[in-house]
Structure 1
Amino acid sequence: MTILRHYDVQALRSRIPALKAGSAHFDGAGGTQIPDLVIDAIAHALSSPLANRGTVTAGQRNAEAIVVEARRAMADFLGADPAGIVFGRSTTQLVFDFARTVSDGWKPGDEVVVTRLDHEANIRPWVTAAARTGALVRWADFDPVTGELTPDHVRAAVSERTRLVAVTAASNLIGTRPDVPRIAEVAHAAGALVFVDAAHYSAHAGVDVEALGADFAVCSAYKFLGPHVGVLAARPDLLRGLRPDKLLAAIDDVPERFELGILPYGVLAGLRATVEFFAGLGTLREGTRRDRLLSGMAAVEGHEDALRARLEGGLAVLDGVIVHSRAARRAPTLLLTVAGHDARDVSDFLAARGVDAGHGSFYAVEASRRLGLGDHGGLRVSLAPYSSADDVDRLLEGLSDYLHLTR
């Protein structure tokens, strides 16, 4: 397995087969393209003997090794304990599952705090759990002008009755990166748990669940060059205190008690390869995998931030283009609207030119409404580790041509 040992976007792009089709991808927030070594790892796992996990047959041993190594890899990726790594079909599925379990002891008078900045996946499961238990939902607002969600916004919603605060580490719609550690301090001071949606954040910056103050953190690998699988990280002792619904004969150990049925071995083999890929993107050649991952993610963040600055500079001179991503700290994801034009028309125009940027609210309905964009949202432009300066220039040229032709 050959891993890139320094950040070189052209070398990185050469490892992603889908990019050979020629499109400029600005849809990373909705899912990224996959490196060849991840594809190869999946194929290798599925072409080798496999069985239910065990230690006797070759198939059992292969399955066991794949799961164990995938847990270790994601523990390194998230700065967590392997015994606290839970796999699921998606972030949405994991939040719904844990919302049911975590809220099992809630009662009327208890409260849960959700934010208007979040993706529906970290709102609706908690709203549903509150409705089932009689708990009250309290909303933390954000500033629609600046896009900022501050600890004070959350403090205004928290009380001594708050059982849990659900908050995003980065908005999938406008990129805002709230000060989650300080928000966690507010929640913990009230005796509440903190559930962090790191799905968008984990694609653009190194994650440390302890530093975030997260009791639970979730992400989806397809956001960061991996296969479709959701991952949750939590302290093992916290997981041991939770009793999810499960089959009588299913393993009751942590973290397995939260994983229903047989895990997707091929996908988990690809997940480990994805982590190894990121560990090779930085300048650090030695040290632990966690150290190399942080170096790789720092390189990705620097590359994407430079491209974001190039993109924002180009957008600033386009008449009629409004950028709704304005927070001081944000992921490289911009929400745009064009005065007098439907975002769908702009998206379709760009797609015809091989520039992929989606339109809508992208399940961040509350955020879109708070911005005054209703349920329709806007044009979302999201950078990824393989985005290039040429991609950015193609997007800017496409937007300029659209404005000229529709003037």
Structure 2
Amino acid sequence: MTAFPLEAVRARFPSLATKDGASRRIYLDNPAGTQVPRSVADAIGDAILNKNANLGGDFPTSRAAGSIIERGHGAMADFLGCDEDEVIIGPNMTSLTYHFSRMIGRGLKPGDEIIVTQMDHEGNVSPWLQLADDLGLNIRKVPFSTGSWTVEEDVLKAAITDRTRVLALNYSSNLTGATNAVGELVAIAKAAGILTYVDAVQFAPHGLCDVGALDCDFLVCSAYKFFGPHLGILYGRRSVLEKLDAYKCRCSDNALPYRFETGTPQIELVAGLEATVDYIAWLGGECGEDGRRRQKIAAAYSASIAHENALCGELIDGLLQVDDLTVYGITDKARFSERVPTVSFTLADISPQELVNRLNEEGIFCWAGHNYAWEVVHQLGIDPDQGVVRIGIANYNTAEEIAETVEAVQRNVRMLRQG
């Protein structure tokens, strides 16, 4: 494995380039959405300008559009470690979860139970809560530990009953950054005959998704979190998908995976999705892997994790030098394998928005608020109207950017406290 090729990575992203007369931009809003490589934008532009047709026609542009859709599924199969017909592409993770929760609900009966966690993004909570209201189901909420910052196995086991039918859980928290031991949690659910639905939106930009190793039934992620266009992707275990009664038009394709992809797909964005996966594979090649696309993707993540963890350590070290500042999540560098580089904090005497406004004005892009981690803020006793300051690192960020951000946080806190 070679050193992380940071300069080569940054050269692929037009938005990161210094522009004459432009103010600096430090993108640390990455948990909400990353920047995209030029190759992704080019693929989208080529598709909509030169291959713009609906599917199913016997003419060149329609055939080219059909090839884009097939290749997009193939690329995500390599990304997730599954077969192409187990990949469903949709508008976003939340819409896919609402859609699939309703199909899953067709097999549930009043009194059946769904487990959700208090560590999840609201996109993997509200669809199940509302399904329960619709069908007379029961919801069991599993808290996370503020010692480990994860959902612990014994707590999950205690929540399972003979009426539990679905477990909805996340891979990594979009507020604390903590990463669950998903394989172990899924194994507990599987032993009890429970369907598992994993939200990997926050994990996928920072770690290799391997649905075969996890043995989950469903896993969802969002391409715009890992350098791609605004699309959601769902993996579904084939044997489970085959049993689901799809909400679809009577005359539309009934084959997997297309019976779950209603209407005309966003063809140009799927072209960008393939380019996104190819960009990650390119990074793996730059890091010394010369194997197939899946192996290159794995190599890219191995190198990115090491780079991101170093930056995350510098960020947390700098934040913890500020008096009356609380970081929510794992701060011990020895445990960084159990987190992604999403860092949230509050100050005892300064509102998150007040600090973030100042950082944004300086060209440091980050977020204030609950960030849809609705259950998380409530378990932690954080005012949801105030939320947290959230800073999220991507692999194109630099040590200099983190140092500038730490200095800006420390300086602005001093200024605000001095009045």
TM class, shorter-chain normalised?
Answer: over 0.9
| Divergent runs of 4+, >6 A | none
Amino acid at match of 1:85: V
Residue 415 (structure 2) pairs with residue 385 (structure 1)? no
Amino acid at match of 1:399: V
Aligned to 1:148: 150
Aligned to 1:9: 6
**TM-score between the two structures when normalised by the length of structure 2:** 0.93
Amino acid at match of 1:317: Q
Residue 309 (structure 2) pairs with residue 312 (structure 1)? no
Q: Deviations over 1:122-154 (max 9, x none)?
A: 011111111111111001111235422212221
Aligned to 1:406: 416
2:198–2:216 Cα contact (<8 Å) kept: yes
Report the Cα distance in structure 1 between the residues aligned to 2:189 and 2:58, rounded to whole angstroms.
47
Deviation at 1:301, TM superposition (A): 1.1
Amino acid at match of 1:18: S
Aligned to 2:172: 170
Aligned match for 1:337, one of 338, 341, 346: 346
Aligned match for 1:286, one of 282, 286, 290: 290
Which SS does the other structure have where 1:94 is aligned? helix
Report the Cα distance in structure 2 between the residues aligned to 1:224 and 1:326, rounded to whole angstroms.
22
Report the Cα distance in structure 1 between the residues aligned to 2:3 and 2:280, rounded to whole angstroms.
10
**TM-score between the two structures when normalised by the length of structure 1:** 0.96
2:28–2:391 Cα contact (<8 Å) kept: yes
Deviation at 1:280, TM superposition (A): 1.5
Residue 99 (structure 2) pairs with residue 105 (structure 1)? no
Aligned to 1:298: 302
Which SS does the other structure have where 2:301 is aligned? helix
Report the Cα distance in structure 2 between the residues aligned to 1:25 and 1:49, rounded to whole angstroms.
32
Which SS does the other structure have where 2:283 is aligned? coil
- Counterpart mapping for 1:138-287 below 5 A: 138-282=140-284, 283-287=287-291
Percent of matched pairs sharing the same residue: 35
Report the Cα distance in structure 2 between the residues aligned to 1:291 and 1:55, rounded to whole angstroms.
35
Aligned match for 1:325, one of 326, 329, 332: 329
Deviation at 1:81, TM superposition (A): 1.0
2:119–2:375 Cα contact (<8 Å) kept: yes
Report the Cα distance in structure 2 between the residues aligned to 1:146 and 1:343, rounded to whole angstroms.
25
- Counterpart mapping for 1:69-80 below 5 A: 69-80=71-82
Provide structure 1 residue ranges, at least 5 long, that are not aligned to the other structure: none
Deviation at 1:320, TM superposition (A): 2.2
Report the Cα distance in structure 1 between the residues aligned to 2:380 and 2:42, rounded to whole angstroms.
43
Q: Deviations over 1:62-87 (max 9, x none)?
A: 01110110001001111111101001
Cα RMSD between the aligned structures?
1.4
- Counterpart mapping for 1:9-28 below 5 A: 9-20=6-17, 22-28=24-30
Q: Deviations over 1:355-406 (max 9, x none)?
A: 1110111111110111110213200011012111111011101111112212
Deviation at 1:6, TM superposition (A): 7.1
Q: Deviations over 1:298-324 (max 9, x none)?
A: 111111111111111212222222111
2:164–2:194 Cα contact (<8 Å) kept: yes
1:50–1:58 Cα contact (<8 Å) kept: no
- Counterpart mapping for 1:31-110 below 5 A: 31-54=33-56, 56-110=58-112
Amino acid at match of 1:15: R
2:34–2:224 Cα contact (<8 Å) kept: yes
Which SS does the other structure have where 2:204 is aligned? helix
